[in-house]
Amino acid sequence: MAAEVGGGAVLVSSKPDDVARADRIVLPGDGAFPACRNALTRDRASLFEAIVTSVIDKGRPFMGICVGMQMMATWGREYEDTRGFDWIGGEIAKIEPNDPSLKVPHMGWNDLVIDDGVHHPVLDGVTSGNHAYFVHSYSFRVDDPAHRLAHVDYGGDITAIVGRDNMIGTQFHPEKSQITGLRMIGNFLKWTP
């Protein structure tokens, strides 16, 4: 995507110096909330400090994907109560569909619903009804509805996209979400908050 949209070079790294030099940060997700949080703050504290300095202090664009998005919350309730980054108020709680035939984890394709009044540059060209690919058992319950940009229906509302200021996060995997996800990644690579 970077080559297609002129988004510059992409470097995959866990080195604090690389993060400090980056003009945008992506925190991908895989695994459980407590393990991710501990890996960042206990095992790689200097990496976490570089992320905070880049995103909070310098205002560089940030995209969290799956548990990378969940880290933006105040609390994670997966297995144990775990503090998040507290960049977007709210908690990560277990999905409890109101339809007993729906299984958890929520896995597969869902239609996005862009919330009323949302106009975000990373969502340019993305509309309600576009499909995204999800694999998760916990969802973001935001404190401020203005920070929820999109949701899906999976036996009730499930937050799909959160954002504020220079930060955006997706519960789904844009890299697996075909045209919709690629469009969002391309938009993110060009975004200047």
How do residues 117-127 score in pLDDT, each as one tens digit?
899 999 999 99
Instruction: Clarify whether 175 is annotated catalytic.
Output: yes
Spatial CA neighbour of 24 closest among 47, 48, 1, 58: 58
Average pLDDT of the segment spanning 40-67: 93
At position 95, the amino acid (one-letter code) is I
Mean pLDDT score of the chain, rounded to an integer?
94
pTM, full prediction? 0.94
| Whether 58 contacts 49, CB under 8 Å | no
| Whether 167 contacts 70, CB under 8 Å | no
Instruction: Clarify whether 96 is annotated catalytic.
Output: no
87: which 2 tokens?
């960049």
Among the listed residues 36, 66, 91, 120, the single catalytic one is 66
- The fourth-level CATH superfamily of domain 2-190 is Class I glutamine amidotransferase (GATase) domain (3.40.50.880)
Among the listed residues 106, 136, 151, 173, the single catalytic one is 173
Q: What is the DSSP string of 110-125?
A: EE-EEPTT---GGGTT
Spatial CA neighbour of 33 closest among 96, 92, 106: 92
Instruction: Clarify whether 173 is annotated catalytic.
Output: yes
- Where exactly are the structural domains of the chain? 2-190
How do residues 135-178 score in pLDDT, each as one tens digit?
999 999 999 999 999 999 999 999 999 999 999 999 999 999 99
